[in-house]
């Protein structure tokens, strides 16, 4: 009996001690210690936030890759079309032969311009068309236009002056071709064979077709640009940019009709 009473007393003492400890902890919390966060809940929330961030980064990365692939595909296809059109010679009977202007130096056609004119004159002599249309306005500081130089060169190589028509105001491919389209409409001319660099042909035919001309390409093969891989790559890049502007803005802003040429050394022309 005494032993049972002693055990009961010890159990009561332990119970009172536990209550005092609990009350002390509550007091400590009331004294300013904040409640302890649920560690499990915090960990789950952090994991969820991290997963959301990783998901956004992954989506952006996939979008960037998709856009990059799309750009590569578009540029690759456009490059193929530029080179493919440049390899085609579509010469056939037409109402006119149109030569796109290029640089002239003090009244003399540059090597690039001369190669175009020689090819156009050969087409005229072969009876491809009864009219030769030359294009190109004045650059800043020039005393004559590219078209006037081209006409003089063609006449000096046997083309009758009355067979040559001039468009002498355009300083870009777009300006020249729109002026040519108006000139042709005035004279009832509907079809033309266009002469320029191989890399230039795709854009020329696109613009001419949009302006209602039945257009065919006959690129020159003797141009210094066509013969030089480095310059041909530069010309292709120029055309990619110009085609992009044409499709996006409906215009081509480069101030020249082809990549700039280096002036010849004195006495070489």
The per-residue pLDDT for 6 is 58
- Cα separation, 128 vs 155, whole angstroms: 17
Q: For the chain, what is the mean pLDDT?
A: 81
Q: Structure pTM?
A: 0.71
**Collapsed DSSP state (helix, strand, coil) of residue 233:** helix
pLDDT at 266 over 80: no
The per-residue pLDDT for 220 is 93
DSSP codes joined into one string, 62-86: HHHHHHHHHHHHHHHHHHHHHHHHH
What residues are paired with 127 via a beta bridge? none
Q: Per-domain residue ranges for the chain?
A: 86-249
Percent of the chain at pLDDT above 70? 73
pLDDT at 88 over 60: yes
The per-residue pLDDT for 267 is 38
The per-residue pLDDT for 252 is 44
Which CATH superfamily, name and number, covers 86-249? HUPs (3.40.50.620)
Any residues with CB less than 8 A from the CB of 186 and at least 6 apart, and which?
A: none
Residues in the chain: 269
């Amino acid at each position: 009996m005494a032993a049972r009473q002693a055990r009961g007393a010890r159990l009561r003492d332990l119970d009172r001690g536990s209550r005092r400890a609990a009350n002390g902890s509550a007091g400590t919390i009331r004294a300013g210690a904040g409640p302890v966060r649920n560690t499990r809940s915090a960990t789950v929330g952090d994991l969820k936030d991290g997963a959301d961030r990783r998901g956004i980064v992954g989506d952006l990365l996939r979008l960037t890759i998709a856009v990059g692939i799309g750009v590569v595909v578009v540029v690759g296809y456009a490059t193929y079309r530029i080179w493919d059109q440049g390899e085609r010679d579509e010469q056939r009977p037409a109402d006119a032969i149109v030569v796109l202007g290029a640089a002239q130096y003090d009244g003399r056609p540059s090597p690039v311009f001369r190669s175009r004119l020689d090819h156009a004159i050969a087409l005229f002599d072969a009876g491809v068309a009864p009219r030769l249309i030359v294009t190109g306005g004045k650059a800043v500081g020039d005393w004559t236009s590219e078209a006037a130089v081209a006409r003089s060169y063609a006449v000096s190589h046997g083309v009758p002056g009355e067979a040559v028509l001039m468009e002498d105001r355009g300083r870009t491919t777009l300006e020249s071709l729109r002026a040519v389209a108006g000139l042709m409409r005035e004279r009832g001319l509907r079809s033309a064979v266009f002469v320029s660099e191989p890399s230039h042909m795709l854009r020329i035919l696109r613009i001419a077709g949009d302006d209602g001309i039945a257009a065919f390409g006959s690129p020159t093969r003797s141009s210094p640009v066509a013969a030089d891989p480095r310059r041909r790559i530069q010309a292709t890049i120029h055309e990619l940019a110009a085609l992009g502007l044409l499709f996006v803005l409906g215009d081509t802003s480069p101030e020249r009709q082809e990549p700039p040429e280096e002036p010849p050394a004195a006495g070489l022309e």
